[in-house]
Structure 1
């Protein structure tokens, strides 16, 4: 069969078989960040409002592609698969190294893949949930048998280092999962739920574009309004996921939320009556890594043994657009 012909794979549910993560080598505590960039802020101010204690920032030859490649390779290693067994790479990112080619095809090349396809998804902090949904649909339809889904961000490129209200919130990193077909009923990805409201796009946006000729690239955020919409919309997305699967909040064993703000995470946990030790929190050490935050947190909790096979995991995220969504997975 010609390589570019459509290949129909076995139809079935989607299971998650590999996890991986990667962080830049250099970490900055709140005090170190303030000193490095001459910010008029303090560790106490940042911690009390966000829960963030440190974040990682790229340096040297670290890029979105290098971080995404490292996370993807670790997901393959975890699963016991090789790059030759993967049909596609889907990368969620708002901070590609180049306008094109996509980060996905650069990762495909770095992994040594000689077949399949790759593309990027842009949905800001909700990007991983969006990419997960696309990959799940492609596997269920038979378009692909195995897909690497990567969330990667180098948000340090987009920050105004003179705006202390935003630059302290974000970090760089990558997380990845390997998805495969063959899940039985009630296993794997149970459902995903996506939403967007472009009328709210000016609440959180980037002025300019990565690599634009003017060089004027800066993140702008109306924090109070984003917080308000996050509380309402994430609660609705969680309810939607529970209702779609005939579940109650008490049925959820783990919540792996987007890591933007500890107060939002705590509020969602209370809504589900989840104790704090059943919520995966990395915002204190990673800050907000946008599309990378959920897979980074998932990788950590799976590898340290907290999340086990057969347990029910809820994911939820909201980001610029505004975009938001949720996913339920039986590991």
Structure 2
């Protein structure tokens, strides 16, 4: 199989902040309650005229600026999102035009909060096949646009953001070490937004264009499933967890991450998450968390990073990587 690696990363979050104190004025909640239940202090909210494609383009431009990357020769764009600008055309096609990439494939991938890791796996597979050389992988969502701000169980969680990476063929590199993919469709009714249908698993759903989540059931599933699946990746790669430098789970809620790390006996100080200042940004949480680690000088080339996404579907995806980014020519400021 042909090797590939992530050569560059870029991120973007909207300017507007929605703090816990702001939410105190909107629903029956308090700053202390939100922090105690979620670990979140604030989140970023897109403007009414700012959409997922806008966040994606800004993240790619950040990548280009920091690593002096050109995108004209990208031969595939994969966007992981649950909040596309339109049902169709795809966000990827909009990005292709706005970045003036003349000849490329362009697809959106729907795997909710596991979407970025699924997209990474897909990119690596395309390159390993020998059919592609340079792929943009983007995880982005504007969940605020489908959030019910009268429902305190969900509105305190979600924010908007985007993260982009460049995955390139490298005959000398085996940056992608191991993976695990999974799905449990029997729990599909626990996180959803209705569309053409309002029934799943023979269950009538609340007919709404807003996100609906059964947080208790998602918590139970994630805490039960993720540690088991992480161990499967380690068993397949014949690596022990102490050989992993950083764990990057989906930043759904700190109270989900903590028991997952406890079950794995993995230290929280080696766990990267983006939820404190950005909330749950769905497909963007993992690239945002990784980039925060890079910007803060924690994450270095040669580090082994275990990413793990989980969310609506119920789907999950894990990817173990050895990082080997190109040299940054510009040191970014904190987000």
TM-score normalised to structure 1 length: 0.91
- Partners of 1:75 and 1:192 lie apart in 2 by 25
Q: Cα offset for 1:183?
A: 5.1
Q: Cα offset for 1:207?
A: 2.4
1:107 alignment counterpart: 95
- Partners of 1:161 and 1:195 lie apart in 2 by 31
> Which secondary structure state, in structure 2, belongs to the residue aligned with residue 84 of structure 1?
coil
1:94 alignment counterpart: 82
> Which secondary structure state, in structure 2, belongs to the residue aligned with residue 240 of structure 1?
helix
Structure 2 counterparts to residues 207-218 of structure 1, below 5 A: 207-208=194-195, 216-218=208-210
1:31 alignment counterpart: 21
1:65 alignment counterpart: 53
Q: Is the 8 A contact 1:234 1:325 kept in 2?
A: no
RMSD: 1.5
- Partners of 1:34 and 1:183 lie apart in 2 by 54
- Partners of 2:219 and 2:269 lie apart in 1 by 24
How many pairs are equivalent? Answer: 313
Q: Cα offset for 1:45?
A: 1.0
2:192 alignment counterpart: 205
Structure 2 counterparts to residues 8-87 of structure 1, below 5 A: 12-35=2-25, 38-87=26-75
- Partners of 1:164 and 1:207 lie apart in 2 by 20
- Partners of 1:302 and 1:237 lie apart in 2 by 26
1:7 alignment counterpart: none
1:3 alignment counterpart: none
Q: Which of 296, 305, 308 is the aligned partner of 2:288?
A: 296
Q: Cα offset for 1:289?
A: 0.4
Q: Cα offset for 1:273?
A: 3.4
Q: Which of 167, 175, 198 is the aligned partner of 1:188?
A: 175
Runs of 4+ in 1 over 4 A off after TM superposition: none
Structure 2 counterparts to residues 254-269 of structure 1, below 5 A: 254-269=246-261
Gaps of 5+ in 1: 1-10, 210-214
Q: Cα offset for 1:304?
A: 2.4
CA displacement 1:172-216 (0-9 Å, x = unmatched): 11011110111536x31112211112111001111237xxxxx94
- Partners of 1:279 and 1:176 lie apart in 2 by 20
Q: Cα offset for 1:280?
A: 1.1
- Partners of 2:171 and 2:116 lie apart in 1 by 20
Q: Which of 139, 144, 158 is the aligned partner of 1:170?
A: 158
Q: Is the 8 A contact 1:250 1:272 kept in 2?
A: no
Q: Which of 228, 241, 247 is the aligned partner of 1:236?
A: 228
Q: Is the 8 A contact 1:15 1:183 kept in 2?
A: no
1:226 alignment counterpart: 218
- Partners of 2:9 and 2:213 lie apart in 1 by 31
Q: Cα offset for 1:34?
A: 3.0
> Which secondary structure state, in structure 1, belongs to the residue aligned with residue 72 of structure 2?
helix
Deviates more, 1:77-86 or 1:249-258: 77-86
Q: Cα offset for 1:121?
A: 0.3
Q: Is the 8 A contact 1:24 1:56 kept in 2?
A: yes
Q: Is the 8 A contact 2:273 2:285 kept in 1?
A: no
CA displacement 1:215-245 (0-9 Å, x = unmatched): 9401111111110000111112211111111
2:307 paired with 1:320 = no
- Partners of 2:119 and 2:94 lie apart in 1 by 17
1:147 alignment counterpart: 135
